Chains A and B, each alone.
Chain A
Amino acid sequence: MEKVIDIGQYIEVAVDWLTENFHGLFDLIKNVGNGFIEGFEWLLMGIPFFVVIGLLTILAYLKVGKGTAIFTLAGMVLIYLMGFWEETMETLALIFVSTIIALVQAIPIGIWAAKKPGVNRVVRPILDFMQTMPAFVYLIPAVLFFSIGKLPGAFATVIFALPPAVRLTTLGIQQVPPDLVEAARAFGATNRQILTKVELPLATNTILAGVNQTIMMALSMVVIAGMIAAGGLGEKVLEGINNLNIGLGFESGFAVVILAIVLDRITQALGQKNENSPLSKLRMKFKKN
């Protein structure tokens, strides 16, 4: 069928206009962002691998428990032995940076949307759009604005990973019982005090569930971003596909799965109050003394 309406051309015009008129700004973002990502990479790779594995294992043990700690230890050692340590750290750095940038925007927007129904009405369809648009599509403007590399990878990742954190922040704030907010108001709390002393503490668990979701989505997008030379495990996966190298594809894919499980278990535990985790037990002991 012939094309009757051509929305694509307008998008093209808009993107062209942006790249032409704001390339200075984009360059600035690119330089700052790349510095940020590379700094993180440098940090993660500067630390010896066994220290990173040790820290992750201890964190898993304290927050979740023995099983997860053993899995973390075994999985990360396996990644190292498969020779993917450097790529994994690159991926991890990109996830961290993207998640932080996403959260810095998502949480305030989520709070704003929870407070103002009008804002919520505007934000929700935008989030729907962001989540349902095929992830690959974000790579195109990312490349146009920033060419290829790590920063455009982070850019696409931020867009893709942002929505769950916004949604769950809004949900968490909306779920705070109205009588608690009223009580705070009756004691003369300002809006800011209500937010920091009542709403955010009560919404923490839900918000952390959103953070977990954002991290997981960032991981999946960071792998896809390997297509635009964002580096890390994604590039290895792509290499495997391009060369029809089943062994390499499977190995690097397996490393992604291990990283995903480790990140998921640890960040999920941050949101839940696990009374049986070794850290809580330690804390209880400390309190009693």
Chain B
Amino acid sequence: MSESDIKIEVKDLTLIFGQKKGQALKMLRDGKSKTEILSKTKCTVGVNKASFQIKEGEVFVIMGLSGSGKSTLIRCLNRLNEPTDGDVLINGVNITKETNKELLDTRRTEMSMVFQKFALLPHRTIIENVAFGLEIRGEEKTKRLAKAKEAIETAGLKGFEYQKPAQLSGGMQQRVGLARALANNPEVLLMDEAFSALDPLIKSDMQDQLLDLQDELHKTIVFITHDLDEAIKLGDRIAIMKDGVIEQIGTAEQILKEPASEYVKAFVEKVDRKSIITAGSLMFKKPTTVLLDKDGPESVIRKMRTVAADVLPVIDKHRVFKGFIWLPEILKAEKAKAEDIMPYITVNCPSVYTEYTVEEMLPLTSGTKSPIAVVNKENGQLLGVVAQTSLMIEATRFNDEQIIHLKEQAIEQ
């Protein structure tokens, strides 16, 4: 990375919330932990000695869970949050040392921000909202409206100029937020969870649009998110943050292949393999059940007919799961005029606890058509049933290689 390429440079940036900042900062320098500092000084360390460089034209994603300090960090770049220590250099100019007037100028010309909750002025029309930044820096009306119109077209909002924000959907509102940022023609875009409030389809749409725009405009973008998929899709490089500390910076490839710490590893595994989907969330709750000792073949057939199923879970009078009963078996029982259905139940069938993941359940389905029973860990009571189809739907979100791998594992077992 040559010197001239660097747009933003952050050096040892630290931000402490609270009264006794000086003492807290000293303790931090002495290597004391966050909890120690909190208990001694009642100060919270928001950002802890963050350092990174962002190249011109790069999309730099800062990722972390809520409370990791990512939103605090991005607000240090335009000093909405005043850093306690460290430097932020933009085009080689240290903005932490800027006077109020210089700072206003930086905010007005060099960097614009897009907000998670859009932050549009409800009493203004779309075009007035988009022109807001230009108005603030004192451009005359005809000029700023012309520029706003341009930005509105770029953001795909043509025709909505004279509507009010409340008349637009969330996705459209965020386009206004983006247009407002672009109208200023800044070199740096700060995007704070810009797409997090949108529903998944629109979110992905907006991501594509942002990438298209970036191909054209080559801005330097700092993007905050808690969504790894979004980070991978958008980021040229990704920084992962935890408890105010940047744990790792690298390309998506580097982070996925060589996670630098246990935290990053857990993060990457969790989101990547979709193993957060558990039996508990996937199961069909309160299924129609067959009661052992009470239901005879006739009533079982009736129940199957009403729910149009060819298999039902069987429980005893304590709701403990006993097995599944299939339609062909119950027909046999009926022919034999059997009173007890116990001999006709398939006893050897898969059952899991609620915390089992899709990944763990998949091997259980090989070689059987049976649904999977979800039971209570303590007393074996039936909680619900996971159908193979819903499991397959989840499974197809894995790529082929992963499914083959899972099947191989199942065979080995």
Contact = CB atoms under 8 A, between A and B. Distances in A.
B104 A190 contact: yes
A185 interface: yes
B135 A197 contact: yes
Nearest to B190: A186
A188 interface: yes
B137 A188 contact: yes
Given A187-B112, A198-B121, A182 B80 contact: yes
Interface in A156-194: 177, 179-180, 182-190, 193
Contacts of A197: 121, 132, 135-136
Contacts of A177: 119
Given A202-B122, A202-B123, A183 B115 contact: yes
Contacts of B137: 188
Contacts of A189: 136
A201 interface: yes
Interface string B105-149: 111110011010101011100000000110111000000000000
Q: State which size class the interface on A falls in.
A: 10 to 19
Given A179-B117, A197-B135, A187 B123 contact: no
B78 interface: yes
B136 A188 contact: yes
Interface in A31-87: none
Majority SS at the chain A contact face: helix
Nearest to A189: B136
Given A182-B80, A198-B121, A187 B133 contact: yes
Interface in A101-124: none
A187 B80 contact: no
B184 A187 contact: yes
A187 B136 CA distance: 7
Nearest to A198: B121
A185 B80 CA distance: 7
B133 A188 contact: yes
B208 to A, nearest CB: 25
Nearest to A179: B119
B79 to A, nearest CB: 9
Interface in A198-219: 198, 201-202
Interface string B169-187: 0000000000010001000
A185 B121 CA distance: 13
A187 B132 contact: yes
Interface of A: 177, 179-180, 182-190, 193, 197-198, 201-202
What are the 10 closest A-B residue pairs judged by CB atoms, nearest first?
Answer: A188-B108, A188-B107, A183-B119, A186-B113, A187-B133, A179-B119, A188-B104, A189-B136, A187-B136, A201-B123
